[in-house]
Amino acid sequence: MHRAIFLLPLLGGIRAAVMVDPSMRSFGVAIKAGSCKTGVEQTVFEHVLSSGSDTGVITQMWHAGTRGDPRMRIYVDSEVEESANSESNNVAIDYSVSLAHGLAPEDDGAWPWQSERFGHTHNMGWYNRYQIPFQSKVKITMTCNVDSPFWFRVAGVENYPIIVGDLQLPSHAKLEIQSFNATVNINDLVTLAALNGTAGLLTQLNVYVQSSSAYQEGCVQATLDGSHQWISSGFEDYFLGSYFHTMPNMELGLAGFRLTNSTTCKGDMPNSLAAYRIHSPDPLLFTKSLLFQWQPTSDHTDQCNYKWPPTTPPSIHGSDRTREQGSDSPPPTNPVHVQTYAWVYKY
């Protein structure tokens, strides 16, 4: 039997060559002018692996027409059965359409543009190519915050490899979104993702920040298997930018941001930031544990590095300054609202 080789494309180059397997089978659906009801979680797609297939991967989704900011949940394997219990929130992939596609809530933003993994094609059009693996079955639901028609397309392939950048992941890999949504104080050390007892990689961060204070000087840091690394020299630097207020809008393949009140973002004026950073060329790999953190601040801080050899911050865990959602800490006196999705593959 002759087997063909197909190439998985990447903006600007070639990702990986994968042998086509006769067991690969495409699946998917398109929905025209569906009806999404306020507050009702409704199924928009389900798929069970064919006999003889070992894995499946959602390879692309497209959304159009929905008003408001729909919430998407993708249940895989055992989560599908658990989703029948209305009290269960055990779903690893749970996101709002806007933030998952690099925008602020209900923000149409500029269009068209595309990143490596998602794009904004029209004022109500989005697509993504997140690879979502499953071992037996998958179910996708949508919950709207206003009554709205919708147009939707999902596609996937059975027995398809999981490719992240130049890396092919184990077939049992699972995608998880670690979300953070809380109001913190300036100078709090915020933990955006934390995992223990598993191997994996952090592949993307989506961010939405609202503040009346300057916060862009804080550095991003990671502790991988107990080893500390500085990831950026400031917040706008993490998104491969430099001086937010000189370029308030940027949509590129690996990073982008949209900043309101950009000329005052370094002062005490209300502003907001929607941003994304894709780590395909520089994945944050770990074999046992991950701790991913950021400190919103306008000052020079001991949570940044200023020389080589690098210094280690005095408290990489920030136990006295990290404010998690729902904590009993007193209300912030200098508040910054932070909402993030950290996309992590575990295997």
Q: What is the distance between the alpha carbons of residues 189 and 336, in angstroms, rounded to a whole number?
A: 12
In this predicted structure, what is the pLDDT of residue 67? 85
| Mean pLDDT (whole number) for 91-95 | 96
Q: What is the distance between the alpha carbons of residues 321 and 184, in angstroms, rounded to a whole number?
A: 9
Q: Longest C-alpha distance within the chain, in Å?
A: 69
Q: Which of 2-16, 114-128, 286-300 has the lowest mean pLDDT?
A: 2-16
| Best-predicted range by mean pLDDT (22-31, 105-114, 308-317) | 22-31
In this predicted structure, what is the pLDDT of residue 54? 95
| Mean pLDDT (whole number) for 289-318 | 88
Tell me whether the omega of the peptide bond preceding residue 105 falls within 30 degrees of 0, making it cis: no
Tell me whether the omega of the peptide bond preceding residue 112 falls within 30 degrees of 0, making it cis: yes
Model confidence at 10: pLDDT above 90 = no
Q: What is the distance between the alpha carbons of residues 39 and 43, in angstroms, rounded to a whole number?
A: 13
In this predicted structure, what is the pLDDT of residue 212? 87
Residue 130, CA distances (Å) to 103, 108, 216, 344 in order: 16, 21, 28, 11
Q: 125-128 and 56-64: which strand pairing?
A: antiparallel
Nearest of 68, 98, 92 to residue 276 by alpha carbon: 98
Q: Which of 2-6, 172-176, 262-266, 277-281 has the lowest mean pLDDT?
A: 2-6
Residue keyed to tokens 């079955």: 137
Res. 343 pLDDT band, cuts 50 70 90: very high
| Mean pLDDT (whole number) for 11-35 | 82
In this predicted structure, what is the pLDDT of residue 1? 40
Res. 209 pLDDT band, cuts 50 70 90: very high
Model confidence at 12: pLDDT above 50 = no
In this predicted structure, what is the pLDDT of residue 16? 55
Instruction: Provide the residue type at 87 as one letter.
Output: E
Alpha helices, H only, 178-226: none
The average confidence (pLDDT) of the chain is 88
In this predicted structure, what is the pLDDT of residue 43? 97
In this predicted structure, what is the pLDDT of residue 243? 82
Q: What is the distance between the alpha carbons of residues 340 and 45, in angstroms, rounded to a whole number?
A: 26
**101 DSSP assignment:** T
3-class secondary-structure state, position 108: coil
| Mean pLDDT (whole number) for 206-210 | 95
Q: Which of 50-64, 216-230, 262-276 has the lowest mean pLDDT?
A: 262-276
Res. 248 pLDDT band, cuts 50 70 90: confident
Model confidence at 6: pLDDT above 60 = no
Q: What is the distance between the alpha carbons of residues 260 and 249, in angstroms, rounded to a whole number?
A: 9
Instruction: List, in order of start, the domains of the chain with CATH numbers.
Output: 5-165 (2.60.120.1390), 176-346 (2.60.120.1390)
Nearest of 280, 79, 68, 296 to residue 164 by alpha carbon: 280
Model confidence at 181: pLDDT above 60 = yes
| Mean pLDDT (whole number) for 14-18 | 60
Res. 2 pLDDT band, cuts 50 70 90: very low
Res. 320 pLDDT band, cuts 50 70 90: very low
In this predicted structure, what is the pLDDT of residue 324? 47
| Mean pLDDT (whole number) for 187-211 | 96
Res. 15 pLDDT band, cuts 50 70 90: low
Model confidence at 325: pLDDT above 50 = no
Q: Are 224 and 215 in contact (CB under 8 A)?
A: no
Model confidence at 190: pLDDT above 90 = yes
Q: 220-224 and 284-286: which strand pairing?
A: unpaired
